[in-house]
Amino acid sequence: MSLDSFVTLGRSALRVSPLTLGTMTFGEDWGWGTDAEHSVEILAEYLDRGGNSIDTANIYTNGHSEKIIGDYFAGQPSKRDRVVFGTKFFASLHPGDPNGGGAGRKSMIHQLEASLRRLQTDYVDIYWLHNWDKFAPIEETLRALDDLVRSGKIRYIGLSDLPAWKTAEASVLSHFRGWTPVIALQLEYSLLERTIEGEHVPMAEALDMAIMPWSPLKNGFLSGKYRRSAAMPADASRSMITGAPSEADYDVIDVLHQVAEDVGASPAAVALAWLRTKPAVTSILIGARRKEQFVENLAALEVALGEEHIARLDAISKPTLNFPAHVLETGTPMLGYGGTRINGVQTTLWPMLAQSTARY
């Protein structure tokens, strides 16, 4: 597989690369990013290899990420329509202004206009709600997004980091009102963060929405730099934010290194290749502060994990999910299906019914 092995994003005709370039590190405004020159090198490398999907946000390095991208394409305007720009709104860049951020109509329009100015484009392909705004009615947000689609300033709609129940509400509301549908979700997902498998993943499958995982290497913990037997990499600026792996994390990291050695790939490539096998995952967000790191991550497209390796990684990283996940997995099949085989799945019989039938 390569970056130009395009996939459609959810229930849409939008074609994107299987790996999306994440640009949260573009710009040094937060003290640990990549300067403009080297950011452009990563961007050019991605495009040269056939990639077409670029993700940013208004808040990334205080808007500098969007500006770096905009400056690059302003010098090569013919490339603009051949790439998929995604940016996010919600974060306020205006302290003290109650309408500077969030998901209300006034703030959304202001945030989009500012992003378009920094990106130096007339439209963005995917406009993502970055977080849930508890103070904004979801119908106001969705209707405003639909208006922006109709105006031609955005093409598609995505949601990031919303609870599953709110996402489902948004999807159903858009459907019955005839508004532009939600086609994709950005959610944290990795070998070290799998709890979305309880609610978000089955919801996305049922509603035909793509999942675009962020932090697929869990703050670098799965990059190969961390080993239980080695000192933690020195990176004071990032470690203040990310912390260090726990002992449970190292249990997963140990197996990841073992599988990487078995298949002859880097731990980062294996972690990304594992994620590509998961339901509803369409395009994975990857980013790096150095071009070398970025190229190493692209190698994930060449890794084909066998069933045994996937099973080992699945088992060591199996999450504890919220109620009612365990009931649905164990109790429900025993209670409802009578030990029969349905859609290729053999169910078991509830022990208390094994020797009896209905008597009343």
Q: pLDDT exceeding 90 applies to what percent of the chain?
A: 78
pLDDT at 360: 64
Residues 123 and 119: their CA atoms lie apart, in Å, by: 9
pLDDT over 90 at 259, yes or no: yes
Number of domains present in the structure of the chain:
2
Q: How confident is the model over 128-158, as pLDDT tens digits?
A: 999 999 999 999 999 999 999 999 999 999 9
pLDDT per position as a tens digit, 28-55: 888 888 999 999 999 999 999 999 999 9
Q: Are 63 and 26 in contact (CB under 8 A)?
A: no
Q: Does residue 321 sit within a domain? A: no
In a domain, 324, yes or no: no
The answer to the question of residue 322 being in a domain is no
23: which 2 tokens? 């640009």
Residues 193 and 87 in one domain: yes
pLDDT at 236: 47
Taking the C-alpha atoms of residue 119 and residue 345, their distance in angstroms, rounded to an integer, is 50
* Average pLDDT of the segment spanning 240-255: 87
Domain housing 249: 7-316
Residues 245 and 337 both lie in one domain? no
In a domain, 323, yes or no: no
Give one DSSP letter per residue of 323-336, joined into a string.
TTHHIIIIIHHHHH
Split at pLDDT 50, 70, 90, the class of 292 is confident
Contacts 24+ apart (CB under 8 A), 251-256: 251/316, 252/191, 252/192, 252/222, 252/313, 252/316, 252/317, 253/221, 253/222, 253/226, 253/227, 253/228, 254/227, 254/228, 255/312, 255/313, 255/316, 256/191, 256/222, 256/313
Whether 189 is catalytic is no
The CA-based diameter of the chain, rounded to the nearest angstrom, is: 79
Predicted local distance difference test score (pLDDT) of residue 140: 98
Check whether residue 219 and residue 344 sit in a common domain: no
* Average pLDDT of span 190-213: 97
Mark whether 279 and 338 lie in a shared domain.
Answer: no
Going by the DSSP 8-state scheme, the letter that residue 21 receives in this structure is E
The one catalytic residue in 60, 123, 127, 156 is 60
Instruction: Report whether pLDDT(238) > 60.
Output: no
285 and 138 fall within a common domain: yes
| 114 shares its domain with 72 | yes
Q: What integer best gives the mean pLDDT of the chain?
A: 92
Residue 241 has pLDDT above 60, yes or no: yes
In a shared domain, residues 355 and 260: no
